[in-house]
Amino acid sequence: MKTLWPETFLDDERLGRPSRRAATAALEAHLSVLKGEPLKLSLAEALKEAEGLGGQERRFAALAVRELSRHQRLLDLAARTLGHAPSKIGLLEDQALVRYVLWRRLFCGAPWSRIGPEVKLPGPIRPRTIKDDLLARVVETPLSEPAVPEAGAERLATRYSFPNWLVQRLAQLHPDAVLEPILAALDEEPSLHFRVRPTGTRDEVLARLVEEGVAAAPVDVALDAVRITDSSHRVFETKVMREGRLQVQDVGSQLIAEACRPLTGSLAGCTVADVCAGAGGKTLALADAVGRSGRVLAGDRSRRRLAQARERARELSLRHVSFPHPLTLENADVVLVDAPCSGTGSLAREPDQKWKLSAKAVEEFHTTQLELLVELAPQVKPGALMVYATCSLLPEENDDVVRDFLARVPGFQVEPLGPVYGAERAAVLCDGPFLRALPSRVPGGGFFAARLRKNPPAG
C-alpha cells in the first residue's frame, strides 16, 4: 500500500446526482448518526424532510451518508493533516461539513468548483461557523502522507477506517495479505443482489432483465443469486420485479437458507422453523425452498420486525408461512437460528456500526448466542437439524459458540456443510465443516453457518 489516500474515485453512475439539496439531506442524516441514531432511520427521516428531491439526488444522499460513516476515520485523518482535526472543531455541524467536502474530494475526485455550490453559505446546515474560503482550502490544499506505520494492523485500520480493536482481532486470524482484501471489501458500497424465484430459473430471469435493458450477472457461488451491475435502480420498475420473480437478498443470506437443505434432495415438503426471522429475509427464501407442500414457522423476539415479515409473506401470497405464538419446534425438520450478532460481516451495508461496536459487545453477543442455542436445543426433535448462523467474522460468535454449545449440550453432532454446496463451491465457501463466507471471496459480506444434527432416537 503506497499511499493512504484513495487512488480511484467512485464513478459518476454509482454516485447519483450531487446537489445542494442532496448534500443537505446527507449532512442532516450524518448529524443524526453522530448523535447516536441508527443510520437507516436517520436517512429515512432526512429524505422525508427533504422536499422535491429527484431519484438520483436521493441516491446520492443515501450513498453520501453511508460513505461519511464508512470512511470516517480516514476523512478525519485528512482533516487533521490539513490542520482541522475534528477535536479542534467545536460544532458537530462544522465537523460534518469538513468531512463531507473531504469525502467529495478524496473519494469522488470532485474539485471545489463542483463542491462549492453544494455547501456554500448560507447553508446547507446550520448552525455553522466555518467560512466558505476555509472549506475551499480544505479541498484545494495538497495532502501530505501522515505519520502512520508502513504496515500492520494500525495502517490497515486507518486506510480502511476501522477501529483498531477490530482490526487487531482480525489480524490474529488472517495475515495482512488476506486481511487487506477483507477490509477493502467491507469499506466499499455493496452491489445490489437479488434472489431469483422460483429456484432454478436464473437464466430465464437474467434474459428477461437484458430484454428490459437492465444489466445483471449471475453470482457463481449462490445458485439463484444475481447482481445488478446497472446502478440506475431501473430494476425496481421491471416486469420480472413486479411479478415477484426477484427478491432483494444478499448472497450470504441465500447461502444460509441453502445451508438448511438436506444433504441429498431438496427441502420441498419439509417444515422449517425460522426462530430469529426478523423482517423475514430468509423466511421468504425458505418458503420458496419448502414449496407449498411444506411449511415455514416464523418467530422473532421483535414484534415490529415480525410484522414486516408477515407483510412480506402476505404480499407474495406465501400462505404456507405462519407466525405461531409461542413458536414450538416439535414438528420442525430444520430449525434455523439466525442469531443476533455484531454484524461485523455486514459493515459494508451498515457502516455506522463500525463506531458503535466494542470488544465487550462481542463478548455479550457470545453469551446471548450460546444461551439461545442451549434454550432451543431440548425442543429440537431427535434427528432434526439446527442451523446456527451469523453475519459475524469473529470466532467468538461463530466457532466458539458451536464449541461451547457442544460442550454444554450432549446429543448434537456437527455435520459438514461442504456436501450441501458441492465440491466446487465448498472450496470457496467452506472452512472445515462450516460455511465461512469471507467478504473478499463472496460479494456482499461475511457470513457463518454450522449444521448441528440432533442424534436420532435410539434404536
Ligand X SMILES: C[S@@+](CC[C@H](N)C(=O)[O-])C[C@H]1O[C@@H](n2cnc3c(N)ncnc32)[C@H](O)[C@@H]1O
Name the residue with cell 472450496. 427
Using CB under 6 A as the binding rule, whether residue 275 contacts ligand X is answered as yes
Alpha helix locations (H) across 82-125?
92-106, 112-119
Q: In sequence order, what are the beta bridge partners of 450? A: 388
- Given 276, 341, 391, 430, the catalytic residue: 391
Answer yes or no: are the C-beta atoms of 240 and 230 closer than 8 Å.
no
Least distance to ligand X, CB of residue 254, Å: 10
Amino acid at 111: P
Q: Which one of 340, 395, 416, 433 is in contact with ligand X (CB under 6 A)?
A: 340
In the window 385-424, what residues touch ligand X (CB under 6 A)? none
- Give the burial class of 380: count Cβ atoms within 10 A of its Cβ; 0-12 exposed, 13-18 middle, 19 or more buried: buried
Q: Please identify, among the stretches 96-104, 218-226, 300-308, 425-433, the one whose residues bind ligand X according to the rule CB under 6 A.
A: 300-308
Q: What is the distance between the alpha carbons of residues 431 and 416, in angstroms, rounded to a whole number?
A: 10
Name the residue with cell 486481511. 179
Q: What angle do CA 339, 343, 344 make, to 5 degrees?
A: 135
**Cα 241 versus chain centre, distance:** 22
Q: What is the distance between the alpha carbons of residues 401 and 35, in angstroms, rounded to a whole number?
A: 33
Q: What is the distance between the alpha carbons of residues 158 and 410, in angstroms, rounded to a whole number?
A: 44
Q: Please identify, among the stretches 77-85, 200-208, 279-287, 357-365, the one whose residues bind ligand X according to the rule CB under 6 A.
A: 279-287
Answer yes or no: are the C-beta atoms of 164 and 157 closer than 8 Å.
yes
If the CB atoms of residues 191 and 302 are measured against ligand X, the closer one turns out to be 302
If the CB atoms of residues 76 and 338 are measured against ligand X, the closer one turns out to be 338
Q: Given phi > 0 = left and psi -120 to 50 = alpha, else beta, which region is 147?
A: beta
Using CB under 6 A as the binding rule, whether residue 95 contacts ligand X is answered as no
Closest-CA residue to 437 (of 194, 254, 167, 165): 254
If the CB atoms of residues 286 and 420 are measured against ligand X, the closer one turns out to be 286
- The answer to whether the Cα torsion of 387, 315, 227, 268 is positive or negative is positive
Least distance to ligand X, CB of residue 263, Å: 23
Using CB under 6 A as the binding rule, whether residue 321 contacts ligand X is answered as no
Q: Which one of 76, 93, 338, 352 is in contact with ligand X (CB under 6 A)?
A: 338
Using CB under 6 A as the binding rule, whether residue 277 contacts ligand X is answered as yes
Q: 215-254 mask for ligand X (x: CB under 6 A)?
A: --------------------------------------x-
If the CB atoms of residues 241 and 296 are measured against ligand X, the closer one turns out to be 296
Q: What is the distance between the alpha carbons of residues 55 and 447, in angstroms, rounded to a whole number?
A: 32
Q: Binding residues for ligand X, how many (CB under 6 A)?
A: 15
Least distance to ligand X, CB of residue 344, Å: 12
Q: Which one of 164, 201, 232, 302 is in contact with ligand X (CB under 6 A)?
A: 302
Least distance to ligand X, CB of residue 277, Å: 5
What Cα–Cα distance (Å) separates residue 150 from each residue in 154, 155, 158, 159?
9, 7, 11, 11
Least distance to ligand X, CB of residue 161, Å: 24
Q: Please identify, among the stretches 171-179, 220-228, 301-309, 352-360, the one whose residues bind ligand X according to the rule CB under 6 A.
A: 301-309
Q: Which one of 99, 282, 295, 349 is in contact with ligand X (CB under 6 A)?
A: 282
Dig out the grid coordinates for 198 from the structure: 422460483
Alpha helix locations (H) across 291-384?
303-315, 359-376
If the CB atoms of residues 73 and 312 are measured against ligand X, the closer one turns out to be 312
Using CB under 6 A as the binding rule, whether residue 313 contacts ligand X is answered as no
Segment holding 449, helix H or strand E: strand 447-454
Least distance to ligand X, CB of residue 367, Å: 12
Using CB under 6 A as the binding rule, whether residue 372 contacts ligand X is answered as yes
Query: Between β-strands 295-298 and 271-274, what pairing exists: parallel, antiparallel or unpaired?
Result: parallel
Least distance to ligand X, CB of residue 380, Å: 15
Least distance to ligand X, CB of residue 346, Å: 9
Dig out the grid coordinates for 438 from the structure: 469471507
- In the residue annotation, 391 being an active-site residue is answered as yes
Using CB under 6 A as the binding rule, whether residue 56 contacts ligand X is answered as no
| Enzyme catalytic residues | 391
The residues of the shown chain that bind ligand X, judged by CB under 6 A, are 253, 275-279, 281-282, 300-302, 305, 338, 340, 372
